[in-house]
Amino acid sequence: MAKPFPTDNPFLKGYFAPVNTEADAGHLQITGEMPKELCGTLYRNGPNPQFAPRGPYHWFGGDGMIHAFHVENGNVSYKNRWVRTPKWMIENAEGEGLSGTFGNPRYTDPRVFALNSTIANTNIVWHGGKLLALEEAHAPFSLDPKSLMPVGPKDGGYETFGDKLIGPFTAHPKFDPETGEMVFFGYSATGRFTKEVSIQTVTEDGTVTRAEMLEGPYPSMIHDFAVTKNWIVVPIFPLTSSMERAMGGLPPFAWEPDKGTHIAFIPRKGTVADVKWVTAPPSYVFHPMNHFETDDGRIVIDVMKYDVAPLFPLPDGSPSTKEPPAARLFRWTFDLSGQSNTFREEQLDDRAGEFPRFDERFCMSDYRHGWIVSGNITHAGVRRGEGITHYDLKKGTNATWKAGEDDRFGEPVFVPRHDKAEEGDGWVLATIFRAAEGRSDLGVFEATDIAKGPVALAHLSSRVPAGFHGNWRPGTL
């Protein structure tokens, strides 16, 4: 029997509370003018636990739910579906939660533990004609782009690239705009809480062209990474993992700043044997914005940097800070031709923010425009004053639009006006949670004129809960 969700966890309340319904809406009400040129689907992924978990709940541990907004001829339709992973299916059949957060064996039913199932709750990407729901501890989970149901009866939805996939698969693969190649990694690649990291590449048609193992200095939660024309850059931050802690009732992931930050630079045309390591002070980055090389060979990575990893405690379970830490936009510049342990850090803005995005046609190239959700999005409290901020990095300017004081914003996703449009010429799409009404809108903004507010809003009568990432797939369904 389904049990009630805990009432004392801020990540199970308000904006973060799960929705327990799947819905279809063919014609959302629209205010403003929905651009006629927009034709495609915004897919958005996030944690939405089907049942109350066993043991402590972490925001990152809920079942994946896809929210799909299809825009065509000025009309917007909406569909949401849980990702029907093996874990979701067995719990749905039992009618209750059978697992702990992160599959913690201390709280997880042996039947679920044996499945080693994805929760597929972090990102969703389109590659090689396949829609892939991602987290960072398992293989991608393939979905039908229209029904959002699993594709692949042989393997229950898992995409293993012809059984060539080694280890888990990041929630943040990178795509080379020139070749269509997908570059990805996986941490804990040789088993739960191990220090090895897989490094892999796949062509646009799904052929694995590289599969290697990098040995890290310690087991770490590596959420994202960077790729330039010549380098794969894997940061090892001191957010460590430990099976011993997990089995002892302590945090499986914890902040250990004394271990420092170690950044691996692996040549795209070489192997892990050619890796160069750069050490840096302790910090944490969930997400870079973009990453590229300058004409003189320096590597530039723009990041949303935390001084202390948010949402995770110290190894003994005590809080790592008195107040929830916030990320801010920094530019890291590395020169591997000189001393490998030197890098330059420049703060680009002092506002808190997260979920950085840019015009991804310019991935791995010098760029001008970027967007973030401004505000401390990892803070579950109210009255955060979130907004969408646009950066013009060439002019050094920024502009923000905010809604109600308690309203919340989903990740801003850029959509070009057409394939050959100039950088930044297009729209930014983001969900907006209307706190006073307990429901959500899809907002469409002129990408380089965010401050004037949305040019169109598509209104839901229901809520899109706090989630993580999404992407745009152009074209009809």
- Residue 378 has what pLDDT? 83
Q: Is 160 exposed, middle or buried (0-12, 13-18, 19+ CB in 10 A)?
A: middle
- Residue 154 has what pLDDT? 62
Nearest CA to 434 out of 457, 456, 408, 452 is that of: 408
- pTM (2 decimals)? 0.96
Residue 393: left (phi > 0), alpha (psi -120 to 50), or beta? alpha
Residue owning tokens 């307990």: 438
HSE-up of residue 399 (Cα within 13 Å, Cβ side)? 12
CA 102 to chain CA mean position, Å:
16
Measured distance between the N- and C-terminal CA atoms of the chain, rounded to whole angstroms = 37
Residue owning tokens 């001393």: 339
Take residue 459 and report the two structure tokens written for it: 């209104």
Query: What does the mean pLDDT of the chain come to?
Result: 95
Largest CA distance in the chain: 63
- Residue 104 has what pLDDT? 86
**Quick one: which H or E segment has residue 114?**
helix 110-115
- Residue 2 has what pLDDT? 87
For Cα atoms 407, 435, 19, give the angle at the middle one, nearest 5 degrees.
115
| Cα(130)–Cα(157) distance, integer angstroms | 11
Question: pLDDT tens for residues 415-447?
Answer: 999 999 999 999 999 999 999 999 999 999 999
| Cα(225)–Cα(172) distance, integer angstroms | 8
| Cα(26)–Cα(32) distance, integer angstroms | 18
Please determine, for residue 12, whether its predicted confidence score (pLDDT) is greater than 60. yes
Take residue 318 and report the two structure tokens written for it: 């005590």
The pair phi, psi for residue 248, each rounded to 5°, is -90, 5
Question: pLDDT tens for residues 23-32?
Answer: 999 999 999 9
| Cα(258)–Cα(279) distance, integer angstroms | 12
For Cα atoms 467, 392, 179, give the angle at the middle one, nearest 5 degrees.
70
Question: pLDDT tens for residues 307-339?
Answer: 999 999 999 999 999 988 999 999 999 999 875
Question: pLDDT tens for residues 228-267?
Answer: 999 999 999 999 999 999 899 999 999 999 999 999 999 9
For residues 141 and 85, the answer to whether their CB atoms sit within 8 Å is yes
